[in-house]
Amino acid sequence: MVLIKEYRVCMPLTVEEYKIGQLYMIARHSLEQSDEGEGVEVMDNKPCEDPVHGKGQYTEKRIHLSNRLPYWIQAICPRVFYVTEKSWNYYPYTLT
């Protein structure tokens, strides 16, 4: 026999307010990390729909890492070094 326990934590805000706050903090962090061509570059940002999760937001970002690498790697890597991130955000589910 399996005993299932459920715990609930009271939050001082609604789920919709938390969603807005989470999106704001992600955008703010991306802005703070971006300077002089470095940081996060948003390539595509559009609404999308999934048969399982419903409506959501598709985002494709380039995260530029040239200045974040050690100097010895910067010497051998090309000046334009980035990672591409594709994510589908169906709040509260995220596929990245």
Is residue 62 one of the residues assigned to a domain?
A: yes
Residue 78 domain-assigned? yes
Inside any domain, residue 59: yes
Domain residue limits at 81: 39-95
The answer to whether position 19 is within a domain reads no
User: Of the ranges 27-31, 74-78, 80-84, which one carries the lowest mean pLDDT score?
Assistant: 74-78
The verdict on residue 70 lying in a domain is yes
Q: pLDDT digits over 19-35, tens only?
A: 888 889 888 887 887 77
Task: Work out the burial of residue 11: count CB atoms within 10 Å of its CB; fewer than 13 is exposed, 13-18 middle, 19 or more buried.
Answer: exposed
What is the model's pTM? 0.66
Asked, for residue 26, whether it belongs to a domain, the answer is no
How many domains is the chain built from? 1
Distance CA 15, CA 41 (A): 28
Instruction: Report if residue 60 sits inside a domain.
Output: yes
The reply to whether 8 falls in a domain is no
